[in-house]
Chains A and B, each alone.
Chain A
Amino acid sequence: MIDIIINVTLMAFLAITAIAIVRLTNLFAIVMLYGIFSLLSAGLFVVMDAPDVAFTEAAVGAGISTVLMLATLALVKRPQKPFYAEAPRAHRAWLPLIVVVITGSALVYGTWDIPGFGSPDAPAQTHVARYYIDNAMQDTGVPNVVTAVLASYRGFDTLGEVVVVYTAAIAVLLLIGGKRLKTRKTRKHEGESDEA
């Protein structure tokens, strides 16, 4: 009973936050609302007994990505969304509404076939999950099955994930980091001294 109340409250807050994000035009407020949205999702994950995922969502979604988006905002120095009052309207206002309603009803129709939450007959539970739950403790001696699956049974996947994270850092450094900034800086200084 208490779960249902918490779920409904969190979902309502999620919906309110999402609508507020769509309606607002101040980018700073939108970034903060993104953080709140992530924090609410983290709360939902906790209610669903997935503290590991909630941890990640709260730390990455509400923490780091908010800081990164704020840093980006500070870079572009434009707190407002571009305002397209002059742009020609290529579509009527009801067209997106119809698209959204059809997509939404298709998604709701899709949920009818989804097995109940935490149902033992669900396909996700009947494949390898059962083996992990039964054998993780004696195979690895690690009480947290999530860690056992992540680091041991699915060690290859996690190695791939770490390499992906590392690749992301390399990509960011190639795009906006490191040496190129310095050369641009020195060129700018040279330009200034030339003018002087």
Chain B
Amino acid sequence: MRPNLILHVVAKFVIPLIMLFALYVQFHGDFGPGGGFQAGVIFSAAIILYALVFGLDAAEKIIPADWLSKLAALGVVLYAGVGLVSLFLGGNYLDYSPLGSNQVAGQHLGILLVELGVGITVASVMLILYFAFAGRGRE
């Protein structure tokens, strides 16, 4: 592929902004629109843009494919684990109130962790899908 200077410069400028916006959507989802699903997709979009511009091999150097499958599982485990922890602290499964000193603090911590789990899983699953499709065409 012929290197395209404008594309490279613009991508390098935009990718950090997309990642920052993804983190904002992830951790500001309690207060504004957004949450784990949206943040995960936006974060994976940044890496997919990197893969589109700089090639699949360069993108796989950032996040190796075998990490991705582990990260996808980690998100689900984090979500289900928060439920188990609240179960062992004396609440119902996925009832976050016992996690904190009072109900609101517990709910806040639980929602934050659960959304983080969702974000990790969605981001890595989207990247797995993209790498699977794009890697197929590579000879």
Report how far A51 CA is from B33 CA in the complex, Å. 6
A152: contacting residue among B41, B96, B117, B124, CB under 8 A:
B96
Contacts of A75-118 to chain B: CB distance below 8 A? 75
**Distance between A181 CB and nearest chain B CB, rounded to angstroms:** 7
Closest A residue to B121 by beta carbon equals A162
B107 to A141, Cβ gap below 8 A?
A: yes
A181: contacting residue among B52, B79, B136, CB under 8 A:
B136
Q: Is A25 an interface residue (CB 8 A)?
A: no
Closest B residue to A72 by beta carbon equals B133
Q: Is A60 an interface residue (CB 8 A)?
A: yes
B111 to A59, Cβ gap below 8 A?
A: no
Report how far A60 CA is from B40 CA in the complex, Å. 10
A142 to B34, Cβ gap below 8 A?
A: no
Residues of B within 8 A of A72 (CB): 133
Contacts of B56-102 to chain A: CB distance below 8 A? 65, 69, 72-73, 75-76, 79-80, 83, 94, 96
Report how far A88 CA is from B33 CA in the complex, Å. 52
**Distance between A27 CB and nearest chain B CB, rounded to angstroms:** 15
Q: Is A10 an interface residue (CB 8 A)?
A: no
Most buried by A among B33, B69, B128: B33
Known interface pairs A60-B41, A71-B137. Does A152 touch B129 (Cβ–Cβ under 8 Å)? no
Report how far A54 CA is from B25 CA in the complex, Å. 13
A144 to B30, Cβ gap below 8 A?
A: yes
Q: Is A190 an interface residue (CB 8 A)?
A: no
Contacts of A138-154 to chain B: CB distance below 8 A? 138-144, 146-148, 150-152
6 new A-B contacts at CB < 8 Å, known A155-B83, A163-B76, A168-B129: A71-B133, A143-B31, A144-B29, A169-B124, A169-B125, A172-B129
Chain B positions within 8 Å of A, measured between CB atoms, are 25, 29-38, 41-42, 44-45, 48, 52, 65, 69, 72-73, 75-76, 79-80, 83, 94, 96, 103-105, 107-108, 110-111, 114-115, 117-118, 121-122, 124-126, 128-137
